[in-house]
Structures are given as C-alpha cells and as structure tokens.
C-alpha cells in the first residue's frame, strides 16, 4: 500500500511547521528582550564604577550623629593632662631662643649686656609687661599663648641672669 502525499496534505503540514517556527521565534524574541533588560552594557558598568569610586573618595571623614539617627556611638574620653610649669631656661629654650640668640628682628641678644642696659634701667616690671603683652615686632608671650605669665617672667629672669 502506497501512501501518496497530496498537495493539500503537504501544504497543511508545511503550514503547521511554519506556524511552530514563527511561534518559537516570537517566544525566543520575548525571552531575550526580558533577559536583556536585566543586563547592562560595559559602558554603563564603567560609569557606575566611576560614580561609586568618586563617591568613596569624596565621602566625608566624619559623620554627623543626630538624635534622630543614633548610628554613631559617642564615647568621650577625657585625657587628664597635668600642665607642668616650665622653668625659665626651658621657656627660653623652647620659645625665646630663636630670636634672642640671633638678634632676629632687632631682638636684644642674650649675653650682650650693652643691648640690655637701657631695658634693665626701666625695671623688671616693664620687662615682664613687655614680654607678656608684646612690644614692637615681638608678639605677646613670644607668640606662644599657652605660656603662663609666671613662665614668661621666669624666662625674662633667665635672660637677665645671663647678661
């Protein structure tokens, strides 16, 4: 028994196969569109990485801790520091020596008694006042505001003892 395929059967089978191929192509196109939406291009990845690195570099070092956002625990550690009083020589060596050894800006030099005679004639209190408050180019307390008045007076006494 021989089975001959008629033209009508051929067209029916061809149409079914064509419809299956077209439907399969549409299905694949829809899937690729869905999955392509999740991926990004290399340019987008590069731009996102640059933005993240820029954000990291420009992020502030400290952060503000608001009462509405208690993220940072604030622990205050109080350091106890005992202020040691400097002796006259120590105060001179740490502050006064830079100008009074070299005579910078017209400062009277230590050990040069001729430069100190006029100043000593005005009295120690005037010298103390000038050293504490500043005179001429010399700033108050030699530019170190943390020195106490007693330390400055001790430095003046040290300078006068060397003349």
**pLDDT bucket at 86, cuts 50 / 70 / 90:** confident
**Which ranges constitute the DSSP H helices of the chain?**
7-36, 42-58, 88-91, 97-100, 113-121, 124-133, 149-161
**Residue pLDDT, tens place only, 110-145:** 887 788 788 888 888 888 888 888 888 888 878 777
User: Within 13 Å and on the Cβ side, how many CA atoms surround 159?
Assistant: 30
Domain-wise residue ranges, the chain: 1-77, 88-161
Distance CA 82, CA 122 (A): 36
DSSP state of 105: G
**Residue pLDDT, tens place only, 59-83:** 877 666 666 665 656 667 776 666 6
| Beta carbons within 10 angstroms of residue 51's beta carbon | 10
Q: Say which CATH topology domain 88-161 has.
A: Cytochrome Bc1 Complex; Chain D, domain 2 (1.10.760)
């Amino acid at each position: 028994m021989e089975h001959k395929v008629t033209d009508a059967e051929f067209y029916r089978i061809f149409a079914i196969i064509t419809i299956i191929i077209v439907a399969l192509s549409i299905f694949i196109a829809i899937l690729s569109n869905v999955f392509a939406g999740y991926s990004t291009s290399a340019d987008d990845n590069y731009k996102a990485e640059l933005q993240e690195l820029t954000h990291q570099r420009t992020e502030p070092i400290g952060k503000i801790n608001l009462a509405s956002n208690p993220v940072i625990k604030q622990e205050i550690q109080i350091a106890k520091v005992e202020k040691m009083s400097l002796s006259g020589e120590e105060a001179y060596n740490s502050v006064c020596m830079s100008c009074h050894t070299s005579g910078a800006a017209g400062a009277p030099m230590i050990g040069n008694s001729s430069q100190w005679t006029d100043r000593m004639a005005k009295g120690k209190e005037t010298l103390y006042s000038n050293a504490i408050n500043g005179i001429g180019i010399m700033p108050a307390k030699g530019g170190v505001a943390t020195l106490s008045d007693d330390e400055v007076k001790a430095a003046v006494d040290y300078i006068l003892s060397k003349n």
